[in-house]
């Protein structure tokens, strides 16, 4: 799989989860994909100060990304 195909799969996963984040006043942005295994994202809006954002990141975002791109091993939130 090319880097561009992988990015497309990760973007598709984020589009799938984005409505749930936006319904709570938040959003998510893809920052980078490193070594084809690590995805760096930035939680935005209400997600930034949310007390369950790490749970959302692991159980929601990471799970959805891995469903679309199984080779992804880790999703990391980079704070602004």
Query: Does the pTM exceed 0.85?
Result: yes
Q: What is the pLDDT of residue 14?
A: 97
The CATH number given to whatever domain includes residue 73 is 3.30.300.130
Q: Give the tens place of pLDDT for each residue, 22-70.
A: 998 999 999 999 999 999 999 999 888 878 877 877 888 999 999 999 9
Q: What is the pLDDT of residue 54?
A: 79
Read off φ and ψ for residue 45, nearest 5 degrees: 65, -135
Tokens read off for 19: 């409505």
Centre a 10 Å sphere on the Cβ of residue 78 and count the other Cβ atoms it contains.
11
Instruction: Report whether pLDDT(80) > 80.
Output: no
Q: What is the pLDDT of residue 42?
A: 94
Q: What is the pLDDT of residue 13?
A: 97
Sheet architecture: strand order including 26-34: 26-34, 38-45, 74-77
The domain containing residue 8 runs over which residues? 3-77
| Sequence-distant (≥ 6) Cβ neighbours of residue 78 within 8 angstroms | 31, 40, 41, 42
Task: Tell me how many domains the chain contains.
Answer: 1
């Amino acid at each position: 799989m090319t880097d561009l195909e992988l990015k497309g799969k990760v973007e598709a996963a984020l589009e799938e989860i984005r409505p749930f984040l936006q319904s709570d006043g938040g959003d998510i942005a893809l920052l980078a994909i490193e070594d084809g295994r690590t995805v760096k994202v930035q939680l935005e809006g209400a997600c930034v100060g949310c007390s369950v954002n790490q749970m959302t990141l692991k159980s929601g975002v990471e799970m959805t990304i891995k469903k679309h791109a199984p080779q992804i091993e880790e999703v990391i939130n980079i704070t602004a």
